[in-house]
Structure 1
């Protein structure tokens, strides 16, 4: 039992480290080669976990080999556009100037219902408002509307705007984040005053309190829990 536990922990940590080495892009967006890698690693790790008769190295060596191979492919992807197109494919323009490219739709084995569903998920219901709809290599649909259909920005209206920056959590689930309090140049006295203005006795009553670069405060009180 102990040996099984240790083998499982070792393989699990190995896979976690390997996936972290692949980078955040691979975690969030699986290319075809990366999907194959994930399936193979899962299969290779499962067998040594269940069968104690198989040496642990029989699972570790193939997993390390696949991770090294993927790293090499990633480097080649960065340096060669031809290799990247061969391994990952190319984006396909499904809609151009409001017209559906039926040939590209068939080539990507995408139905009209699937296309309209993806457009609705992007908040688009009128095809004539679409300048380009591109099926990316990771399977996601990128939609670019005509300029006249895009939301108006303050810059287009000639208005000046201030950048609020990234809100930092000062209190998170009742605990004060001292590093963020110092990063915003704030003191405990300021925090006590901010809580008093919101009729809060202390940080323990706060679920989340954030402050952005303009000094704007967002505060969410903890909800009462009932037995």
Structure 2
């Protein structure tokens, strides 16, 4: 029981401290972000092996405070350049920057792989490619090779509407219903109208036309129809 207790406490404390840290430490890993995660992980996992649960929690709290101070200091421009590395230019105006590649310790084949992931196959079409401090590769194509935008064609497009989930995995999303000014009775009526059951619905979303779209767990099978092809031997 004590082992279970320690494991649960360590997990909950670690989760709490990561929530207090914020999303940035997990989503954008800078150098000190990685260091923080490594240190915190080692500290909070120590009580699983030895008898110092209290000290580990205190040390973890101190580590979180230090990290939060560093993040706050990084908001000041004068200190930002000490805490963050500078972006490294890899391609400029279609020309590969060899010094940049050497600084980033990146072989050309790896650079080309990153470009393919971004949807580019020819380095000559790129205005600038930069390795950010997080390790991500930012690619900006030359004007003549960027995707065509509706504004370029002088087209007027309607505002993008984000479908609002009302049912997910058979569970009703009550706060979204409340946000839309709807109630359970309305939802159940719509579900019944479509001949469905809430527990069988994988996803139901509220559309711009104020109608409900339902994706249930049923998979349509149409033999020999190319539109329903499945890779593998299950056809």
Q: TM-score over 0.5 for the alignment?
A: yes
1:167 paired to 2:163: yes
CA-atom RMSD in angstroms: 2.3
SS of match in other structure, 1:155: coil
Question: What is the aligned counterpart of 1:83 among 66, 75, 79?
Answer: 79
User: Which one has more relative contact order, counting CA pairs under 8 Å at least 6 apart?
Assistant: 1
Preserved CA contact (<8 Å) 2:127 2:142: yes
Q: Equivalent residue for 1:17?
A: 16
Written as runs of structure 1 = structure 2, the 5 A alignment for 1:206-217 is: 206-215=201-210, 217=212
1:72 aligns with: 69
Q: For 1:29-108, what aligned pairs fall within 5 Å after superposition? A: 29-52=28-51, 55-79=52-76, 81-108=77-104
| TM score, norm. by length of structure 2 | 0.82
Q: Residue 113 of structure 1 aligns to a residue in which SS?
A: helix
User: Which residue number corresponds to residue 134 of structure 1?
Assistant: 130
Which 5+ residue runs of structure 2 have no aligned equivalent?
A: 220-235
Q: CA deviation at 1:20?
A: 1.2
CA contact (8 A) 2:73 2:80 kept: yes
Equivalent residue in structure 2 for 1:121, among 117, 124, 127? 117
Q: Deviations over 1:141-195 (max 9, x none)?
A: 0111112111112222222212233211122223333442343355645763576
| Worse overlay, 64-73 or 200-209 | 200-209
SS at match of 2:75: helix
User: In the TM superposition, what is the alpha-carbon distance from 1:14 to its structure 2 partner?
Assistant: 2.1
Q: How many residues are treated as equivalent by the alignment? A: 218
- Partner Cα distance (2:53, 2:172) in 1: 45
**Mapped contact 1:164–1:214 kept (Cα < 8 A):** no
Deviates more, 1:139-148 or 1:213-222: 213-222
